[in-house]
Amino acid sequence: MRNFLNKKVQAIEPSGIRRFFSMASEMKDVISLGVGEPDFDTPWHVRDEAIYTIQKGRTFYTANAGLLELRQAIAENIMRLQGVAYDPAKEVLVTIGGSEAIDLVFRAVIEPEDEVIYTQPSYVSYLPCVQLAGGVPVAIDLKEENNFRLTREELEAAITDKTKVLVLSFPNNPTGAVMTKADLEAIVDLIIEKDLLVVSDEIYDRLTYNDDEEHVSIISFPGMRERTIYINGFSKAYAMTGWRLGYCAGPAQIIEQMTKIHQFTIMAAPTMSQYAGLEALKSGEQDVEEMRESYNQRRRFLLSELERLGIPCFEPLGAFYIFPNISQFGMTSEEFATRLIMEKRVAVVPGTAFGKSGEGFVRISYAYSINELKAAIERIEQFIEELKQEK
């Protein structure tokens, strides 16, 4: 028989997280700090709206780009948060999670050999999606001493004649890093000068903890709206991961082509999820604020506990991850995480699951209750005590 498989697909590495997942899910009594999704239930009024949608029999396809009311609410939301206007009819596309939007944008813009710059440690989707689209992924290894922010020098060094796209993903998974207004300001003119398209994944935009500055999107800088695909979704801010609902906004010519692919591959996002998303945007502000406050408390708790345990960690100001430096223990991230789960039954994700520059770090998620975090920290403390005695 022939080998039926596509070589490009075969060559793609399975997610580093998957192996860890198999290990962790076979064990009993695991305290997991390993997930990338909220622990909160979707707010009840949102769930109720979806139930009502089904009861009313609104179970048909929506427009390919999504319910117009939803696109309007999305455009209003972006206006409210970032002061940038999008035309709901032509510049907003409702997708199956931010995930689909990430895939669509690369498929819509990449030609063979086009280089796509992204920052590492990185959310796991960009690299394979760029590869599948036939582009050449170029990683910039972000540095702990820069608080895992992208600097102008780093960006400048990575740009070549072939660079077409820059992926920005802040607040960041897995590091929790944010790019402030000033950080973005430093790279904007370079992006414009080099005529790059920015794919800005801002799925954690509502979860930031900087008292001095709310999240600023790159679309709010002059000249950037025209060259940015802004990606967001409902998963993180509204605790709606399983609903599979996200969206993107950008210049009409690009959104039109993305909508074309979406139309032939997906048709439209699930109708009930779209009505639920509309309800979340209309009346979910209080929920977002309460969850954010709760994440912030957990973030402070973990930071203070890690400090007590002598594990250095830069202060993350976004998302719900903390990215401590474990290099003092003389092990790879993989070894550290493996021993921690084998010996103490605590699951964290090795930094290397997010690219090789994650070496020396682990990702700890704080999408867990304080009591769960306390229990996990107790075990981590024992683990570290034992490691010290080995020395």
Ligand X SMILES: Cc1ncc(COP(=O)(O)O)c(C=O)c1O
Alpha-carbon distance of 380 to 36, in angstroms, equals: 20
Contact between 295 and ligand X (CB under 6 A)?
Answer: no
- DSSP result, 75-98: HHHHHHHH-----TTTSEEEESHH
- Torsion sign across C-alpha atoms 77, 82, 88, 91: negative
Among ligand X, another protein, none, residue 233 binds (CB under 5-8 Å by kind): ligand X
Burial class (CB in 10 A: 0-12, 13-18, 19+), 249: buried
Q: Minimum distance between the CB of residue 382 and ligand X, rounded to whole angstroms?
A: 30
106, 123, 221, 320: residue in contact with ligand X (rule CB under 6 A): 123
At residue 31, φ and ψ (nearest 5 deg) are -95, 115
Contact between 103 and ligand X (CB under 6 A)?
Answer: no
Contact between 74 and ligand X (CB under 6 A)?
Answer: no
- Contact segment (CB under 6 A) with ligand X among 51-59, 233-241, 286-294, 343-351 equals 233-241
Q: Minimum distance between the CB of residue 104 and ligand X, rounded to whole angstroms?
A: 12
Task: Build a one-symbol-per-residue string for 144-183: x at contacts with ligand X by CB under 6 A, - elsewhere.
Answer: -------------------------x---x----------
Q: Minimum distance between the CB of residue 331 and ligand X, rounded to whole angstroms?
A: 26
Among ligand X, another protein, none, residue 39 binds (CB under 5-8 Å by kind): another protein
Whether 321 contacts 176, CB under 8 Å: yes
Q: Which of 189, 195, 201, 202 is closest to 152 using CA atoms?
A: 189
At residue 286, φ and ψ (nearest 5 deg) are -60, -40
Residue nearest to ligand X (CB): 97
Among ligand X, another protein, none, residue 203 binds (CB under 5-8 Å by kind): ligand X
Residue 187 is encoded by which pair of tokens?
Answer: 């790279």
User: What is the SS3 assignment for 247?
Assistant: strand
Burial class (CB in 10 A: 0-12, 13-18, 19+), 45: middle
Q: Which is nearer to another protein, 190 or 303 (CB)?
A: 303
Alpha-carbon distance of 71 to 73, in angstroms, equals: 5
Q: What is the DSSP letter of 39?
A: S
183, 201, 205, 287: residue in contact with ligand X (rule CB under 6 A): 201
203, 249, 255, 349: residue in contact with ligand X (rule CB under 6 A): 203
- Binding residues for another protein (CB under 8 A): 15, 17, 20-21, 24-25, 30, 32, 34-37, 39, 123-125, 173, 296-298, 300-301, 304, 347, 349, 370
Residues forming the site for ligand X (CB under 6 A): 36, 97-99, 123, 169, 173, 201, 203, 233, 235, 241, 246
